[in-house]
A and B are shown apart, each in its own frame.
Chain A
Amino acid sequence: MNLKNILARENRVIFISICVVLMASMIIVIGQSIVQSERQAITTPMSAASLPLLPEESGVFRLADQALFYLESAKEQGTRTLSIYYQRRAFNGAPPVIPHEVADEASFGGNTCLQCHENGGFVPKFNTYAPLTPHPELLSCRQCHVPIHTQNLFKPTTWRTVAPPTINRSAMAGSPPQIPHGLQMRENCLACHGGPGSVKEIRTPHPDRTNCRQCHGMAESNEVWVRPLVSENK
């Protein structure tokens, strides 16, 4: 037995042991993958991310970072008035129609509508400031907002709704006015009340105070509270 053979034998041992190690690891790897493939696709629900529940408070501070800009740009006045605001809506709280031509019928929010309506700004084409959407996270704008292609009606209607709230709703001179509308889809105050794209008559003079509801409470009811008489308590 010469050295060469011994080396060869040792090599063989090394070779075999490497093979053994490789096979073992192969068995482990393949075994694991077989076990994995046998497993059902994950069935336990992961904590599902859910659509925003539109809680009243969620959007209050959304445009807070724009507040100082709004304060700065208070001199630039948009042309939107309250009467235009209501003209665009079938009832107070309805999604407004699109009063201008739309560039692309098929495209989605981020590519078209939100270019102007997410952050606002002056639009030379219409010579005014773009109103802001209070809910830029909803991308399918055309789900609710439609352009008007004719002023005609298919058939006349008898539809009527309640009058929108009036302005100057301070209880006393100088006191903060109440919020006269529901907050669902409209919880982001600054979208309509701050900045040059907002509605003239309801524009806040202090967009930098972003905690709006610190001072402005909801008008949940138009009833004046009256202490019930004892006889009514029975």
Chain B
Amino acid sequence: MNRRDMLKHMVAVAAMSTASALFPGIVFPNSQFENFISEESLTWKKSPCRFCGTGCGLLIGLSKGRAVAVKGDPASPVNRGLCCVKGYHSVMALYAKDRLTKPLIRKNGQLVETTMQEALDLVAQKMKETIDKNGKDSVAIYGSGQWAVPDGYVASKFMKGGIGSNNLECNARLCMASAVTGFMTTFGVDEPMGCYEDIDHADVYIMWGNNMAEMHPVLFSRMLDNQMRRGAKIIDFATRTTRTSMASDKSILFKPQTDLAVANAIAYELIRNGWLNESFIKRHTTFKKGKTNIGYGLEDKFAFTDEPKEASFEEYKKFLEDYKPEIVEKVSGVPAKDIRFLAALYGDPNKKVTSFWCMGMNQHTRGTWIQNLVYNIHLLTGKISTPGNSPFSLTGQPSACGTAREVGCFTHRLPHGEVTSEHDRQHAADIWKIPVEKIPAKPTYHTVEMFRALDRGEIRFMWIQVTNPMVTMPKLKRYRDATKKEDRFIVVSDVYPTPTTDIADVILPSAMWIEREGMFGNSERRTQHFEQMVDPPGECISDAWAMIEVARRLGYKDLFPWDKSNHVQEIWKEYSLFHQGLDHQMATYEALKSNPGVMWPCPDGKETKWRFHSKYDPAAKGGSWDFYGKPNGKAWIWIRPYEPAAEIPDDEYPFWLNTGRVLEHWHSGSMTRRIPVLHQAVPESYAEINPDDAKELGVRHGDKIRLTSRRGTIIIKASINERGVPPQGMVFVPFFDESLLINELTLDAFCPISRQPDYKKCAIKVEKA
């Protein structure tokens, strides 16, 4: 007991005895002065939420080295003090009993405990052996949009600057690759021009296949608030009826894949009615067309390169003749009057319109095209890069933007630019102080092809971090079998046992989230720093540090000279060198530590809310819009047709299978299912089926049904008229449940431009089980 405690105690005792003398019989609970911990006396520290791409600011209550409570950070402009049920209970994900705390090595088929030093030695040794035997492109790292920025940066430097292989991919390929190629093809630079503040300015929100009420609930609440207070309108444009539909002012259903046709029909109507911003089109856009009939990537080694060709407004107008609302109505099932209604909303010069989308448009075999087409609408009407006028691509993972996209954890990317560019390679080589020849100029495998290469045997060693591909890969069986083949070595870094650690040869226990220091970057270009708040359990270390340890063992000490105590700060400093300049300047480490997130570009410490308009963006020149990612500052309006899905329901497999998430669970459920409240709310996955289909099959709510595709089958409980209702001929299944792996059924068709698979459309049959 120190002097201060002693004094306090004396004061307390004195107060109590005085009170007892004055009021005989008064009872003081012991806790009043001693045991009670006031909520306000917990230590509260800021962190972005661990889960989705919204990036809510949390305040985490700490007591005696443990996280014990969460509240929303009122200072965060993202969520302004409000969280969702996942955020409020997020810290409980640290504390499930089966946490991986010791490294495990597979010996004679059994996983046995070992020390971290030994495990890292083995990983390094296996990596070296594999490279010696099969070449440097036989080893790969498969990471995640849940990597903190330092993890992704170390992975990029290790693979591209150290080993000299472009075999680096991450699960963001399955999540937002189409968003990236959409931005790149239309604007030439990645990530949204607007920010969440658009919600407070827009008059209309149009949700393109986006169940925001469940997937981005905090942003949805902000829209509801604007709907209630200002009369802003929410329009739900989707393939099934969800909670978002229930809260929207109008819900319009379309048949899967036909969003392409409807987007073109909206453009047709804009032109027919003259609802165009002609001066904007003339000054800030140019017309392009690309290849058509571009395939679905179903075969191994599928290759595709688009060739943009010049086009004209006249050509575009003529192309749109095929997309008259009456024609599109037949394909899409959307009544012509609803198409005209949507066009009228976009076309009204006095309405500010924000479009939102996420996986519906990203996980799409024409994912890049549909992004182009929605941008077209915003460009034709000039509704872009100003408050409330925003085509807004949301992300699903906490650092899909911050790590996967900005650090560039893809085979074709560098922390700034692409490996195919001599200039970008030189830039990276200068910062990394390595010869430029070290960085290979040719991209190798995108995610699906990387797992196919593992199957074929071109890749023999894979290090999987912070992701669960044995739940999330489409056409799962092929890729799971690939990992089990002879002479494949799989290392998995994770926090809990998952179907992916089940196939691992080495499991490295990771320090997660607030057990280490890091940064996440959310959907609105906001970078958020979190410090280490609690000690990681057992021998857990951060993935960044695990890779640094292995890289050093392979002789790349010079690339990773940092000390464990300050490596995150040093990494941030070095990484920031890649993003110098008005268009991508990152906040300083100090600014990140003291702010609830900072949006880039932030030259001179001033963050940019809207890009591409000189009024808000210091990188934009001229008096108005400047799409500086493209030559002449002009954004591209793309002529992109409707093309059907890769697999369409037929007589044998008559249902569409659509997959996705639920509010309570996040990603593959390995964290949220270990949070008691969330598991108890949604203990298992289910199959939503239309009531009429159910009647025909003789199935009632809770009955078991068998779903079968050409690739696999599962038995699962039917859900009828519950949270979501698919139209007739569609089944929806959440993918979080590792005992009901819906990805056994899905198809590995992908967008040929983004190489992102389509998890929303394949053909299945449904039987009563």
Contact = CB atoms under 8 A, between A and B. Distances in A.
Contacts of A147: 681
Interface in A46-74: 46, 48-55
Contact of A155 (B72, B352, B389, B674): B674
Nearest to B9: A224
DSSP majority for the B interface? Answer: mixed
Contacts, number: 257
Nearest to B353: A41
Contacts of A52: 80, 225
B243 A94 contact: no
Interface string A67-111: 000000000000000000000001111110100000001111000
Contacts of A163: 31, 35-37
A63 B259 CA distance: 47
A162 interface: yes
Interface residues of A, number: 75
B694 to A, nearest CB: 16
A94 B674 contact: no
Interface stretch (A2-10, A22-30, A136-144, A204-212): A136-144
B19 A184 contact: no
Contacts of B681: 97, 146-149
B277 A40 contact: yes
Contacts of B31: 163, 166
Contacts of A182: 39-40, 71
Interface centre among A92, A159, A180, A224 (most CB of B within 10 A): A159
A56 to B, nearest CB: 9
A146 B678 contact: yes
B225 A51 contact: yes
Given A54-B81, A90-B676, A144-B85, A180 B39 contact: yes
A172 interface: yes
B242 interface: yes
Contacts of A154: 96, 673-674, 679, 683
B680 A184 contact: no
Contacts of B387: 43, 45, 48
Contact of B82 (A43, A54, A157, A223): A54
B38 interface: yes
Interface stretch (B378-386, B707-715, B746-754): B378-386
Contacts of A157: 92, 95-97, 674, 676
B676 A94 contact: no
Interface stretch (A12-20, A31-39, A120-128, A190-198): A31-39
B84 interface: yes
B29 interface: yes
B200 A159 contact: no
Given A149-B681, A182-B39, A184-B74, A143 B81 contact: no
A233 interface: no
Given A41-B352, A222-B37, A158 B97 contact: yes
Nearest 9 interchain pairs by C-beta: A146-B681, A48-B200, A143-B217, A45-B387, A105-B723, A54-B81, A154-B673, A161-B68, A43-B386
Given A153-B676, A173-B23, 8 more contacts: A40-B280, A48-B197, A48-B387, A146-B663, A162-B39, A163-B31, A184-B81, A224-B7
13 contacts: A40-B386, A41-B389, A92-B39, A97-B677, A143-B85, A144-B88, A146-B664, A146-B680, A157-B92, A165-B38, A166-B31, A166-B36, A181-B39
